[in-house]
C-alpha cells in the first residue's frame, strides 16, 4: 500500500530563523513521501492615489523583487530539500503573508504550515498580531512556529 503524499507549507523570509524553520520542516517531513512548498511572501498593498507612470514603475519593481526572491532566497533551498529525498516546490509572491500562507494551506490541503518566529517584538506581536499569531488563530491545519 502506497502512503499518501504529505504537503507542508514553509514560510521563508531569508532570516536565520527561517532557515531553522526549513531545517525543522525537512526533519518533520521525513521519511517521505512529502512535498515542501517553500514560500516567500513580499508584503504588498493595493495601489492608492498613484499615477499611471508610478503604477508601471511599481509593477516593474514588483516583478524584479519576485525574480530576486526566487533566485537568491528560494532556489538555494531547493537542493537542501531534494537532498533529503523530498519534493520541493517554490513560490515567490506578493500579498499579505499570513493570508497567503493560509490560502495556500487550504488550497493544497496541507498537513502543516511551518514558519520561523521572526519580525515583531514579542510585545508588538501580542498587541498587534504578527504573521505567526495570525496563522495560529486562523489555520485549519497544525502550525509549527520555530524560534
Residue 128: the pLDDT is 43
Specify the DSSP class assigned to residue 13.
-
Please indicate whether residue 138 or residue 118 has the higher confidence score (pLDDT): 138
Summarised one tens digit per residue, pLDDT across range 70-103 is 999 999 999 999 999 999 999 999 899 999 999 9
Domain-by-domain residue ranges, the chain?
6-146
The residue-averaged pLDDT of 32-36 equals 91
H/E segment holding residue 7: strand 6-11
Asked if 68 and 8 count as a contact pair (C-beta separation under 8 A), the reply is no
- The pTM for the full model equals 0.84
**Is 32 in a helix, a strand, or coil?**
coil
Contact criterion met (CB below 8 Å) for 17 and 120: no
Rounded to an integer, the average pLDDT of 124-137 is 71
Q: Can you name the residues that pair with 112 across neighbouring β-strands?
A: 8
Q: Which of 38-47, 55-64, 90-99, 115-124 has the lowest mean pLDDT?
A: 115-124
CATH (residue range 6-146) = 3.40.50.620
CA angle 78/79/83 to nearest 5° reads 125
Amino acid at each position: 500500500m502506497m502512503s499518501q503524499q504529505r504537503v507542508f507549507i514553509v514560510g521563508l523570509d531569508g532570516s536565520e530563523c527561517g532557515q531553522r524553520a526549513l531545517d525543522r520542516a525537512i526533519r518533520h517531513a521525513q521519511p517521505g513521501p512529502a512535498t515542501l512548498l517553500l514560500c516567500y511572501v513580499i508584503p504588498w498593498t493595493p495601489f492608492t492615489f498613484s499615477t499611471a507612470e508610478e503604477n508601471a514603475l511599481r509593477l516593474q519593481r514588483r516583478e524584479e523583487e519576485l525574480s530576486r526572491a526566487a533566485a537568491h532566497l528560494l532556489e538555494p533551498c531547493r537542493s537542501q530539500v531534494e537532498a533529503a529525498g523530498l519534493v520541493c516546490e517554490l513560490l515567490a509572491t506578493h500579498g499579505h503573508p499570513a493570508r497567503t500562507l493560509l490560502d495556500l494551506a487550504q488550497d493544497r490541503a496541507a498537513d502543516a504550515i511551518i514558519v520561523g518566529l521572526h519580525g515583531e517584538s514579542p510585545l508588538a506581536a501580542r498587541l498587534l498580531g504578527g504573521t505567526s499569531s495570525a496563522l495560529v488563530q486562523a489555520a485549519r491545519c497544525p502550525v509549527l512556529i520555530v524560534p
